[in-house]
Chains A and B, each alone.
Chain A
Amino acid sequence: EPEVTQTPSHQVTQMGQEVILRCVPISNHLYFYWYRQILGQKVEFLVSFYNNEISEKSEIFDDQFSVERPDGSNFTLKIRSTKLEDSAMYFCASRADLGTGELFFGEGSRLTVL
């Protein structure tokens, strides 16, 4: 069964360092998303992406964050200068259709900022 894959599964970084989280969405999907979940808390929308550009972003997704689809398969989330409060699970999701389709999630990347 097709699945969304995320790497790395866990990354530890020092405050102020840049981090890139990678996702491979399901191949025929057109809409891509990043979410964040601080331990045990709610799943927060960060950004949606379609047709090689950002569709929507939340107030969390400030200038420190960026997303890119550098080739036909990868979808990346970059945090330029990490802060302690960026420590969280980051989930990538994709879906085929807007408005009617379910989201398919990866297993997440755990980011720990020291």
Chain B
Amino acid sequence: SQQGEEDPQALSIQEGENATMNCSYKTSINNLQWYRQNSGRGLVHLILIRSNEREKHSGRLRVTLDTSKKSSSLLITASRAADTASYFCATDEYNFNKFYFGSGTKLNVKP
């Protein structure tokens, strides 16, 4: 694996429920970012958390970062059918121009 893994690989929930995705990584990082990908499309940036931050919010998104465990989580609250997509964490490696993506979580939100 180039960087880390995400779990679960797939998640199916009902509209209105919360969705939690987890990401683990391997190296020292400047920041960790979450991206969304609709099927067959490019990736779109959602939120960035710096290595010295522990939690960040943006709208219905909440991200946590634990650098001691090299892990992060993304919580989407009050999910909507339109949130159906794949979600990837990405690590911005310290001192290198490398940007690795995790394996992704496929989220299906049923109306």
Q: Which A residues have a C-beta under 8 Å from some C-beta of B? A: 4, 31, 33, 35, 41-45, 48, 50, 55-56, 58, 89, 91, 93, 98-100, 102-108
Which 10 A-B residue pairings sit nearest by Cβ, starting from the closest? A55-B97, A105-B42, A102-B45, A43-B101, A48-B97, A99-B30, A42-B103, A105-B43, A107-B42, A56-B98
* Bound form: Cα–Cα A99–B52 in Å: 13
12 chain-A/chain-B pairs, Cβ below 8 angstroms = A4-B42, A42-B102, A43-B88, A44-B101, A93-B43, A98-B97, A99-B30, A99-B92, A104-B45, A105-B44, A108-B40, A108-B41
Which residues on the A side are within 8 Å of B42 (C-beta)? 4, 91, 105-108
CB distance from A61 to the nearest CB of B (A): 12
Contact residue among A55, A100, A103 (Cβ-Cβ distance under 8 Å from B45): A103
Contact residue among A45, A99, A100, A107 (Cβ-Cβ distance under 8 Å from B2): A45
Classify the secondary structure of B's interface with A: strand
- Besides A45-B98, A91-B42, 8 more A-B contacts (Cβ < 8 Å) are A42-B88, A42-B102, A43-B43, A98-B97, A99-B30, A104-B45, A106-B42, A108-B42
Which residues on the A side are within 8 Å of B43 (C-beta)? 43, 91, 93, 103, 105
Which residues on the B side are within 8 Å of A35 (C-beta)? 101
Which residues on the B side are within 8 Å of A99 (C-beta)? 30-31, 92
Question: B2, A56: Cβ atoms under 8 Å?
Answer: no
CB distance from A72 to the nearest CB of B (A): 20
Q: A42-B103, A50-B97, A108-B41 are in contact. Are A102 and B88 (CB under 8 A)?
A: no
Which B44-72 residues have a C-beta within 8 angstroms of A? 44-45, 48, 50
Which residues on the A side are within 8 Å of B99 (C-beta)? 33, 45, 48, 93, 103
CB distance from A42 to the nearest CB of B (A): 5
Interface string of B6-45 (1 = CB under 8 A from A): 0000000000000000000000001101010100111111
